[in-house]
Chains A and B, each alone.
Chain A
Amino acid sequence: MLIPLAVMVLFSFWQKGPFGLDRTFSWSNWTRLVQGGIYLDLVAKSLRIALITMLITLALGFPLAYFLAQQRSWRRGLTLLLVFMPFWTSYVARTFAWLPMLGRTGLVNYVLLKSGVIGQPVTWLLYDEGAVYVGLIYVYLLFMTIPIYLALDRIDPALIEAAHDLGAPPLATLCFVIWPLALPGVLGGCLMVFLLGFGAYVTPALLGGPSGIMLGNVIADQFGAAYDWPFGASLAVTMVLVIFLLILLVRRWIPIQRVFLGTD
């Protein structure tokens, strides 16, 4: 993992020449990246999309995890299985599934048309930033729900009983007893979803249209259609650096290893 990264850093200081690679050292890729602000804006936009996705999946995932943790015996098995199942399959297929949902002849338009809410099919459902959020939340909800569920499941019932016996209303129990105990799971889920969202490629490419483009798509373009590997390398190194800095930052609050093992 370190060797490829080193090769990437090296590449980012080379150029695309008329006959392949020009292997002379230069900062030109990096000045191009910083100057004009297009690419820095792109990084900022990707961070923003990742952050909003993270907050919405948290708002959706926490109650779901709470619901799962309240289930007993076979019902727990079944509700958990139903949450897992959609995530056991290709994210390309799952993202694609939103095209016939949101498209012009899709289900949402059909229902709205039939119910008389709209007179003409609407096209703004797809190919913009909004569609990217729908796709990202759909694909990453599990990664928020499961860490929170595991944290909630570990809470000692005696603590909840105690809060109840001492006269705490349910909301206070939730805020001052359950939420702090679930926090490791919440932070773990947030980190996971944020990283996945920041590095997204498939979802913005399929659902985002021109306005929904993210950093991952521009990196892919440099290694595909644009065929500018050195510049692509500098963008990829930027993405890795941002992730690395982020992990360094949150390491103080989040035990990274526990996030992935789900145990101590």
Chain B
Amino acid sequence: MRDRGLAGRSPHWVLTLYAVGVYAFLYAPILTLVLFSFNNSDVTGLPFKGFTLQWYWRALQSQTIRAAFANSVMLGIATALIASTLALLLGASFRSNFRGKQLVFNLILLPIIVPGIITGVMLLVLFGAAGILPSLWMTVLPAHVTWALPFAFLTIYPRLYRMDRSLEEAAMDLGAGPWTTFREVVFPQIRPGVVAACLFSFTLSFDEFVRTVFLLGMDRTLPVQFWYMIVEQLSPDLAAMAVIILVVSITVSLTGYVVVSRAPQ
């Protein structure tokens, strides 16, 4: 690690203590949730009445929860593949200058700034006006792709941008076609970025709620199913369900993080 800036100045003990406090604030609710999910009590809360796995069993046996889980996974995979492919194509075209590049760039990043509730209702009205009925694949998938695209783009583009052009030129000079050059020279260099973009897009889609709930129609994704279960009645298996969601998305994101940090810069 570079030794510059503030690095290397050991933090004052007050600051370290403060940081420990913030970490406690960040993790206390999550750990409490995990604890309660194993609590053998009909009420989500304390006192702790003994260890049980029944809430996990109940959540995993529910037909609706399983269907919602399957929907979320399929949607996440589709979003990951489409958003990463689009990000790759956009990134490739951004390496050369063209008119309106700045505008396109801002448009790609726009969904980050616009609140999810606005994106959700705007797409609802737009699809409604176009006569497209709300469903998982016709309305939710496009919404998730526009949401994940800026993040996928920001993961892939810096790698493409920093890449040494002369390698491609050398491949072309040696007679490789554009496709071969891409597959054999360009892609291996940006692969960690693409894999990470896929994984991050998956979790963004898997966790998304506001941009989903208005566009779902009769289908359910896991966060939406979870939401309706909270709103309709606070049942004791909610903590277990939340832990399942946490474990899936943190595992996938952590894999993405490892892929990025292991890759040679």
Contacts and interface: CB of A to CB of B under 8 A. Distances in A.
Interface string A167-190: 000000000001000000000000
Nearest to A152: B6
Interface in A85-132: 85-86, 88-94, 96-101, 103-107, 110
Contacts of A64: 18-19, 22
18 contacts: A63-B18, A67-B16, A76-B1, A90-B209, A92-B209, A92-B245, A93-B207, A97-B30, A100-B32, A100-B44, A105-B46, A110-B45, A152-B5, A195-B115, A216-B117, A229-B125, A232-B121, A239-B118
A4 B125 contact: yes
B238 A96 contact: yes
B63 to A, nearest CB: 21
Given A153-B5, A233-B125, A93 B26 contact: no
Contact of B210 (A70, A89, A202, A247): A202
Interface residues of A, number: 80
A149 B45 CA distance: 36
B234 A99 contact: yes
Given A90-B223, A96-B238, A85 B254 contact: yes
Interface in B1-53: 1, 3-11, 15-16, 18-19, 22-23, 25-30, 32-33, 36, 43-47
Given A155-B5, A260-B154, A107 B18 contact: no
Interface in A194-226: 195-196, 198-202, 206, 216, 219-220, 223-224
A30 interface: no
Given A90-B209, A101-B29, A66 B117 contact: no
B129 interface: yes
B209 to A, nearest CB: 5
B6 A107 contact: no
B15 A97 contact: no
Interface of B: 1, 3-11, 15-16, 18-19, 22-23, 25-30, 32-33, 36, 43-47, 105-107, 109-118, 121-126, 128-129, 150, 154, 158, 203, 206-207, 209-210, 214, 223, 226-227, 230, 234, 238-239, 242, 245-246, 249-250, 253-254, 257, 261
Contact of B115 (A73, A157, A196): A196
Given A70-B11, A105-B43, A199 B122 contact: no
Nearest to A88: B253
A157 B223 contact: no
Nearest to A223: B121
A201 to B, nearest CB: 4
A66 B210 contact: no
A174 B109 CA distance: 33
A33 B232 CA distance: 30
Contacts of B129: 7
Contacts of A152: 5-6
Contact of A85 (B43, B242, B250): B250
